[in-house]
Structure 1
Amino acid sequence: MTFTVAQIAAALGTEAAGDTSITIGAPAEPADAGPGDLAMAMSPKYADGLKQGQARVALLWPGADWQALGLEAAIFAPRPRMAMSGVTALMDPGQRFGEGIHPTAVVDPSAELGEDVSVGPMTVIGPGARIGDGSAIGPLCYVGACAVLGAQAYLRESVSIGANVRIGDRFIAQPGARIGSDGFSFVTPEVSGVELARETMGDQGDTAAQSWIRIHSLGGVVIGDDVEIGANSTVDSGTVRPTQIGNGTKLDNLVHLGHNVKVGKDCLLCGQVGIAGSVVVGDNVVLAGQVGVVDNITIGDRVIAGGASKILSNVPAGRMISGYPAVKMDMFTEMYKALRRLPRLASDIAVLKKAVFKDEPNE
């Protein structure tokens, strides 16, 4: 699939200059771009790369002298990453895994598939499941009994959607995503050492060792529109009420949401984030990679947590936090600086001790 310079500029809602009839097949790094590629040179620091490549057309920063760069045409990008989003969306061919239902797929007779739905090889669609129009279900996927997927769902290979999971429109699941697994919820017949230690913040007392008994997960999962789940991420079903993910939220790879978690709208949960059970996360929250969240707390709207933070208590709306335990980011920075000074401080104290405390004379 190719596009003219004029078509690309129109799709991005931006300006173009030069020969706008030139056709483009794919985006490319400036140094690697060929005559039929769009060189992604959206900053002056990439100008030298254009000289190394063979691009005729480039996506450039506003005001760039495209003719001096040896180009035949240019598209201008006032906001580079937004332009990157538009170009990649326009030129992404997607994957259909074939048209219609593959002969090896197993679709229960009571399942309802909308118009223009494709189902890949070895996929299983359970009884009473409903899949919306224009959806593409990849190979080796599983959609459980009475699960609901909205229009234009896109499930990559080996995705599983559990029974009674309800998902909105334009859902994307990367390979190996698991939605609707049972929650990690167990109890003992008598008060356990874990419960006592948590309550007292002390030891286990004289509690006896006991076996764990499962608490079953009946609540399912409810996911809004325009949600994306990364590869090998997992979302547990709620115990009685559903685990919830709001519209527009994106989960990176290897993210885990425990049972009864409620995540708001337009959140970003980056790689290896782990959220324990019954946490409430507000709207527009960003949790950087490897953030961990203790159970039964609330994180307010527009909170940003730095990488590897461990959130152990409620966080007010709008706060930027970092560290273990997570505190205000400016406070964490000062704490980190102080920690790095400790060896020097210990050395200075040792010198002072020698100066102040003389060796006592032998009697």
Structure 2
Amino acid sequence: MSHTIAEIAEALGATALGDLDLEITGAAEPADAGPGDLALAMKPEYAAGLGQGHACAAMLWEGADWQDLGLQAAIIPARPRFAMAGLTAALDRGHGYTTGIHPTAIIGEGAELGEHVSVGAYAVIGAGARIGAGSVIGPQAYVGIDSQIGAATVLHVGVRIGPRVRIGARFIAHPGAAIGMDGFSFVTPEVNAVEQARASLGEEVDAAAQSWVRIHSLGAVEIGDDVEIGCNACVDAGTIRPTRIGNGTKIDNLCHIAHNVVVGNDCLFAALVGIAGSTVIGSNVTLGGQVGVTDNTHVGDRVVAGGGTKILNKVPAGRIVLGYPAIKMDQHLDIYKAQRRLPRMMQELAELKTRLAALEAKG
């Protein structure tokens, strides 16, 4: 698979310079690039690597002197990182899933598959499920009974979709993702220690020992269009109403969206994000790695939470937060700087106490 410099530039809406017929078969970092690769030197600091590699063409920053860098051709995008999305899509060779329905696949009674649906080896599609046209159900994937999946969806190896889940078009789930399984919801016959602790916020608890009883999940999951969910991420079914994820949201590996959570449109969650039950997340929210959000709270639109942040209370729209508990990022950084000064301040305090004691001794 190859593309000319002219073809790539046109697809990206970028400027092409030099030998426009030069063929490109891959992309590489400048120092690792071969003659058929497009070297990605989109900032001046990356240009030094071009001399170590063998690239004939590169994607460069605005104003770069491509000829002085010894190249035969160059592509200059208006927004280099955004151009990466189109470039990698054009060069992606895919996962090699076969077309058609593999003879080992199991299709349940009444299941409906749209045109050109591919079902891999040992995949199972439950009774009454509906799969949209052009979708790929990878090997060993499972789609639960009466679930609906939109067109052009890709379920990679080992994805699990629970019963009665509703998913929009162009959904991507990476290996091991589990959507629509039971939420973590249990109750005891009498008031338990957790309830006492929540009510008292610190007093000793005296609840009797009891066994936990499951509250079953009847609400399933609803997911919009253009959503992507990473490896081994989990979206739990709602208790009564569905857990919901809006259009365009992207969720990284090992994230957990608990029962009854509502997530808005175009959110971005990095790895190990955990959102507890019945919380509402607005649209265009970005949560860094290992961010945790408590239950029954609200995070407003456009909130950005830095990695490791623990959100314990409502966060208003547009706020940038960091820390445990989450506070404004600039305030957290001021506190962090003050913490770093504490050892010196304690030493100065000890010296002041010694001088004061000496003065008092003199009388």
**TM-score normalised by structure 1 residue count:** 0.97
Q: Deviations over 1:81-122 (max 9, x none)?
A: 111111001111223511101111111131111111111111
Aligned positions of 1:105-184 closer than 5 A: 105-184=105-184
Q: Matched residue of 1:235: which SS?
A: strand
Segments of 5+ residues of structure 2 without an aligned counterpart are none
- Cα deviation per residue 1:126-177 (whole Å; 9 max; x = unaligned)? 0011111111111111000011110010111110000011000000011110
The answer as to whether partners of 1:286 and 1:303 remain within 8 angstroms in 2 is yes
Within 1, Cα distance between the matches of 2:8 and 2:172?
25
State yes or no: 1:79 paired with 2:79: yes
TM-aligned CA deviation for residue 343 of structure 1: 1.2
1:45 and 1:183 map into 2 onto residues whose CA distance is: 48
SS in 2 for 1:40: strand
Instruction: Give, in whole Å, the separation in 2 of the partners of 1:359 and 1:69.
Output: 71
**Partner residue in 2 for 1:47:** 47
Structure 1 runs of 4+ aligned residues shifted over 3 Å read: 358-361
Tell me by how many angstroms 1:199 deviates: 1.0
Residue of structure 1 in register with 2:238 after alignment: 238
C-alpha separation in 2, matches of 1:339 and 1:35: 52
Q: Quick one: distance in 2 between partners of 1:147 and 1:269?
A: 25
User: Does 2:202 align with 1:197?
Assistant: no
Question: Would the aligned equivalents of 2:6 and 2:20 in 1 still touch at CA under 8 Å?
Answer: yes
Distance 1:204 1:188, change over 3 A: farther
Deviates more, 1:249-258 or 1:84-93: 84-93
Gaps of 5+ in 1: none
Which residue of 2 is the match for residue 67 of structure 1? 67
1:249 aligns with 2:252: no
Q: Percent identity?
A: 61
Work out whether residues 321 and 327 of structure 2, in 8 Å CA contact, stay in contact via their aligned partners in 1. yes
Give the superposition deviation at 1:252: 0.6
Determine if contact 1:96/1:118 at 8 Å carries over to the other structure: no
Cα pair 2:13 2:77 within 8 Å, conserved:
no
1:357 is paired with a residue whose SS is: helix
Give the 5 Å matches for 1:9-20.
Answer: 9-20=9-20
Kept after mapping to 2: 8 A contact 1:272/1:289? yes
| Match in the other structure for 1:26 | 26
CA-to-aligned-CA distance 1:270-293 (integer Å, 9 cap, x gap): 110000000000000001000011
Q: How many residues align?
A: 361
Is 1:351 matched up with 2:351? yes
Q: Which amino acid aligns with 1:180?
A: G
CA distance in 2, matches of 1:206, 1:29: 62
Q: Secondary structure at the match of 1:301?
A: coil
Q: Which amino acid aligns with 1:253?
A: N
Paired residue type of 2:194: V
1:195 to 1:204, Cα distance in 2 relative to 1, 3 A: farther
CA offset at residue 30 of structure 1? Answer: 1.1
Task: Tell me, in whole angstroms, the C-alpha distance in 2 between the residues paired with 1:333 and 1:167.
Answer: 40
User: In structure 1, what residue type is equivalent to 2:265?
Assistant: K
CA distance in 2, matches of 1:143, 1:206: 45
* Residue in 1 that maps onto 2:101: 101
| TM-fit CA distance, 1:53 | 1.4
* 8 Å contact kept, 2:143–2:163: yes
Deviations 1:262-309 (A, max 9, x none): 000000011100000000000000010000111000000000001101
Deviation at 1:25, TM superposition (A): 0.6
Distance (Å, rounded) in 1 between the aligned partners of 2:184 and 2:357: 58
**Partner SS for 1:219:** coil
Say which SS state the counterpart of residue 278 (structure 1) adopts.
coil
The residue that corresponds to 1:261 in the other structure is: 261
Measure the CA separation in 2 of the matches of 1:308 and 1:347.
Answer: 31
Structure-1 separation of matches of 2:104 and 2:240: 36
User: How many Å separate the matches in 2 of 1:205 and 1:234?
Assistant: 32
Aligned counterparts of 1:343 and 1:33: Cα–Cα separation in 2: 49
Residue number in structure 2 paired with 1:341: 341
Partner secondary structure for residue 58 of structure 1: strand
- Counterpart-to-counterpart distance in 2, 1:203 and 1:212: 22
Residues 96 and 136 in structure 1, CA contact (< 8 A), matched pair in contact too: no
Deviates more, 1:27-36 or 1:352-361: 352-361
Q: How far apart are the structure 2 equivalents of 1:296 and 1:18?
A: 58
**Matched letter for residue 304 of structure 1:** V
CA distance in 2, matches of 1:360, 1:28: 72
Greater mean alpha carbon deviation, residues 58-67 or residues 285-294: 58-67
> 2:251 is matched by which residue type in structure 1?
L
Q: Provide the rounded CA distance (Å) in 2 between the counterparts of 1:211 and 1:124.
A: 35
State how far apart, in whole Å, the 1-side matches of 2:344 and 2:64 are.
50
Residue 7 of structure 1 is matched in structure 2 by 7
